[in-house]
Chains A and B, each alone.
Chain A
Amino acid sequence: MVTATPLTPLEEQLLELAGSVPDPELPVLTLRELGVVRAVRAHGTDRVEVDLTPTYTGCPAVEVMSLDIERVLREHGVREVTVRTVLAPAWSTDDITDEGRRKLREFGIAPPRTGAASGPVRVELGPTRTGEGGAADGTREPVRCPHCGSAETELLSRFSSTACKALRRCLACREPFDHFKEL
Chain B
Amino acid sequence: MTTTPAADTVTTAAALALGDDALVLSHRLGEWAGHAPVLEEEVALANIALDLLGQARVLLSMAGDEDELAFLREERAFRNLQLVEQPNGDFAHTIARQLYFSVYQHLLYDRLAAGDGPFAPLAGKAVKEAAYHRDHAEQWTLRLGDGTDESHARMQRAVDALWRFTGEMFQPVEGIDGIDWPGLESAWREAVEDVLGRATLTVPDGPRSGAWKAGAGRQGLHTEPFGRMLAEMQHLHRSHPGATW
Complex-state Cα separation, A156 to B40, whole angstroms: 8
Partner of A87, one of B43, B47, B124, B142: B124
Partner of B132, one of A54, A89, A91, A158: A158
**B142 near A90: Cβ-Cβ < 8 Å:** no
The dominant DSSP class at the B interface is: helix
Chain B 8-34: CB-based contact to A (< 8 A → 1; otherwise 0): 000000000000000000000000000
Shortest Cβ gap from B222 to chain A (Å): 24
Shortest Cβ gap from B179 to chain A (Å): 19
**B128 near A183: Cβ-Cβ < 8 Å:** yes
Partner of A158, one of B120, B124, B136, B146: B136
- Decide yes or no whether A4 CB sits under 8 A from chain B: no
**B124 near A54: Cβ-Cβ < 8 Å:** no
Partner of B54, one of A58, A92, A122, A156: A58
**B124 near A57: Cβ-Cβ < 8 Å:** no
**B40 near A120: Cβ-Cβ < 8 Å:** no
With a 10 A CB-CB cut-off, give which of A57, A60, A122, A181 has the most chain B CB atoms. Answer: A57
Residues of A within 8 A of B124 (CB): 87-90
Q: Which residues of A does B touch, CB under 8 Å? A: 54, 56-60, 87-92, 119-120, 122-123, 125, 156-163, 167, 181, 183
**B120 near A56: Cβ-Cβ < 8 Å:** no
Residues of A within 8 A of B53 (CB): 58
Chain B 129-172: CB-based contact to A (< 8 A → 1; otherwise 0): 10110011001001100100000000000000000000000000
Residues of B within 8 A of A162 (CB): 47
**A181 near B132: Cβ-Cβ < 8 Å:** yes
**B120 near A88: Cβ-Cβ < 8 Å:** yes
Given A59-B54, A125-B142, decide whether A159 and B125 contact each other with a Cβ distance below 8 A. Answer: no
Complex-state Cα separation, A6 to B106, whole angstroms: 37
Q: Which residues of B does A touch, CB under 8 Å? A: 40-41, 43-44, 47-48, 50-55, 57-58, 120-122, 124-126, 128-129, 131-132, 135-136, 139, 142-143, 146
**B52 near A167: Cβ-Cβ < 8 Å:** no
Complex-state Cα separation, A88 to B127, whole angstroms: 12
Given A87-B125, A90-B128, decide whether A57 and B51 contact each other with a Cβ distance below 8 A. Answer: yes
Residues of B within 8 A of A157 (CB): 40-41, 43-44
Residues of B within 8 A of A58 (CB): 50-55, 57
Residues of A within 8 A of B136 (CB): 158-159
28 CB contacts below 8 A, A to B, read A54-B54, A56-B51, A56-B129, A57-B55, A57-B126, A58-B52, A58-B53, A58-B55, A87-B58, A88-B124, A90-B124, A91-B125, A119-B132, A120-B131, A123-B139, A125-B142, A125-B143, A156-B40, A157-B43, A157-B44, A158-B44, A158-B136, A158-B139, A159-B40, A159-B47, A159-B48, A162-B47, A163-B50
Residues of A within 8 A of B58 (CB): 57, 87
Residues of B within 8 A of A92 (CB): 128
Shortest Cβ gap from A83 to chain B (Å): 16
Complex-state Cα separation, A59 to B129, whole angstroms: 12
Nearest B residue to A156 via CB reads B40
Nearest A residue to B56 via CB reads A58
Residues of A within 8 A of B50 (CB): 56, 58, 60, 163
Residues of B within 8 A of A87 (CB): 58, 121-122, 124-125
Complex-state Cα separation, A119 to B132, whole angstroms: 7
**B146 near A57: Cβ-Cβ < 8 Å:** no
**A159 near B135: Cβ-Cβ < 8 Å:** no
Nearest B residue to A120 via CB reads B135
Nearest B residue to A163 via CB reads B47
Given A125-B142, A125-B143, decide whether A161 and B43 contact each other with a Cβ distance below 8 A. Answer: yes
